[in-house]
Structure 1
Amino acid sequence: MRWFKRSLFFSVIAVLLLSLAACNKHELEKVKVGEVTRSIFYAPQYVALEKGFFEDEGLSVELQTIAGGDKTMTALLSDGIDIALVGSETSIYVTLQGANDPIQNFAQLTQTDGTFLVARDKIDNFSWDLLKGSTFLGQRKGGMPQMAGEFVLKKHGIDPTQDLTLIQNIDFANIATAFASGTGDFVQLFEPTASVFEKEGKGYIVASFGTESGHLPYTSFMAKSSYLKDESKTVQGFTNALKRAQDFVQKESAAEVAKIIQPYFENVDVDLIETVVERYKSQGSYATDPILEKGEWDNLQTIMEEAGELPQRVDYEELVNTTFAKKAAE
């Protein structure tokens, strides 16, 4: 009888614990996040998801990929998502159009351009002058990749409108296909496409736009000002989880990071993911903390001015909220 009572007692405790766990899981705060594209460039975000860092903060993050900055911002403005992961320049565009509820950048994910210059033919001794007279397949006009690309070309004394044939009317999703089909002598590509092309002999990485353009808030998490105010606890938890993931990526090997994020890149070999992660880590593309610094913001707007895409500058304090990032970094 004593054995039976003891067994019954532990059975009741087990049921209560399972019920409590189920309740806790049910009570996780849902956060809808939209990323502008799926990219190894965003490795810390996937690490935070896979390692359960968001759940540790009481959050259930629903991630969706929305192709294009315009569509991502439309989803954010229409409350289709709570948080957007997109280039910081989009918050400036929205503000200059007169948004009633300003979009603010609250956590930085990447701090350099993430694209690479890929040549159709192998070049042993690359020089930027080789682009003169060539056909350059660039990114969408007004987007950060294209603006950073033009900034780098000008830095090396190349006028994008005079010294080469610039193609930038091809949709982002079709740029790689167009190059593979024979369009252009050079192309500006993100990873892992650049490394895949190199592996398959379709092109060769000859330079990094990230190392050439300097630090800038290339990709940040942003939300409506009202959301940051009304859901401050949720935003803080989200930023805390991101900081843990950033620390993990900085500390762990590229091989370990690649293994963790592979589920998000099912058609990419894990060794290739490792190569890409190592490349981004070595050039300092992953932000070490979520704080968006004023110097980076100023560099962003300088690049936009150089591209003729910035009618007027927007103050750092107006569109950057570092409250959550600084607390997470403490």
Structure 2
Amino acid sequence: MKKYLHTGILIVILLLSGFLLWRHSVQTRVSHEVVRVADVGAIAWVPFQVGLEKGFFADEGLSISIVSVQTGDESLKALLSNSVDISLAGIIPYSFVALDHPEIQVLALNTFAKDNQIIARKDSGVSRPEDLIGKKIGYSKTTASDIGVEFFLKNHGITKGQVTLIPMKPFAMPVALATGEIDAYSSWEPNIINGKKLLDTRAILFNDVLSTYTWHGSLMANKTYIESHHSSVLAFLRAWKKSAQFTKDNPTEAIAIASAYTKIPAEALKQIWSRYDFVANPSPEEVVSILRTDLLWANLHRANPLATIPDPVTLLANINESKI
């Protein structure tokens, strides 16, 4: 009799322990930490939206609060003002910020986007790059659009003095082009597709190798935040890694999510999908090289260039890769 009693008590204890562990697990999953993220809404950031849709961030115990911005420059300004915890931005806008704020660090360089191009109006007399001489070109300062237009002009033998560069927000570019305020503009997707959709047959796109600038999408955060919320940062990076791999392995579903995210038809996205490497995994040496190149360019194009740029190695966050 005692044997059965002891067995019964043991079973009750095991069941109770299992229940308590299950309840703790549920409570842990429910009490998500909020991470505020500045999102540009570019196609390069589709893995972010995929992660939200598929629940990868929630699975890591994170609740994402999105702050929508138009450019990487705005994304980083939100980070500097402590309006967000993590910034999605390209290395070019980051470089302008890092020159004065080395406490803003790179968490990961994770997307290579071959999509900054030039779109122009045919009825402005533009049918080839050289026709842009004497024309007005819209661009967004301190972004991929900025270095992208310089890349385009240099490759086609056009000097900056031969065109009029008009600074403007990316979302304003398609309408400005359609109304004749500008004759062309330099930008990334989905801003190029939006321009083509608005102009239809009046649009001409320069998308060859000499006209397409490849920019590098990255995640940034303040060093203080990284140190004080290290577990959350690791969780965010783990979720992003899953999202990026899912985006690569499931293009049809990822494109459907991207279509809802960017308001661009899935068929249009299919045509440009190969321009993106969502699981770019450059070596530390490559990251340092990219950072150094873009820091030098940013320093050359700022009002008061520094005598020396920060060491790119010091701008990389101290992340334990084995935990991602």
TM-score category by the smaller chain? 0.7 to 0.9
CA 1:282–1:122 in 2, change beyond 3 Å: closer, same or farther? Answer: farther
Distance 1:95 1:147 in 2: 17
- C-alpha displacement at 1:239, in angstroms? 0.9
* Contact 1:120 1:185 (C-alpha < 8 Å) held by counterparts: yes
- C-alpha displacement at 1:145, in angstroms? 1.6
Task: Please give the secondary structure, in 1, of the residue aligned with 2:207.
Answer: strand
What is aligned with 1:235? 233
Q: How does 1:1-330 map to 2 (within 5 A)?
A: 23-35=27-39, 37-97=40-100, 99=101, 102-112=103-113, 114-121=115-122, 127-137=128-138, 139-160=139-160, 162-168=161-167, 170-200=168-198, 201=200, 202-207=202-207, 212-214=212-214, 216-217=215-216, 219-253=217-251, 255-265=252-262, 267-275=263-271, 279=272, 281-289=273-281, 293-304=287-298, 307=301, 311-312=305-306, 313-321=309-317, 323-324=319-320, 326-327=321-322
Deviations 1:51-96 (A, max 9, x none): 1111222222222213444543333233221111123344443443
Amino acid at match of 1:172: P
* Contact 1:116 1:205 (C-alpha < 8 Å) held by counterparts: yes
Deviations 1:10-35 (A, max 9, x none): xx9xx989966752332222211112
Deviations 1:284-324 (A, max 9, x none): 45352386612221332344356456823221112122635
CA 1:319–1:17 in 2, change beyond 3 Å: closer, same or farther? Answer: closer
Task: Please give the secondary structure, in 2, of the residue aligned with 1:323.
Answer: coil
Distance 1:250 1:309 in 2: 40
Structure label with greater radius of gyration: 2
* Contact 1:242 1:290 (C-alpha < 8 Å) held by counterparts: no
CA 1:290–1:34 in 2, change beyond 3 Å: closer, same or farther? Answer: farther
Distance 1:290 1:328 in 2: 18
Say which structure is richer in strand. 2
Deviations 1:81-127 (A, max 9, x none): 11111233444434433x4x71001112432464221121299x965
Task: Please give the secondary structure, in 1, of the residue aligned with 2:84.
Answer: coil
Q: Percent identity?
A: 25
- C-alpha displacement at 1:179, in angstroms? 0.7
Gaps of 5+ in 2: 1-11
* Contact 2:109 2:280 (C-alpha < 8 Å) held by counterparts: no
Q: TM-score, normalization: structure 2?
A: 0.78
What is aligned with 2:4? none
Task: Please give the secondary structure, in 2, of the residue aligned with 1:111.
Answer: strand
What is aligned with 1:4? none
Distance 1:244 1:79 in 2: 27
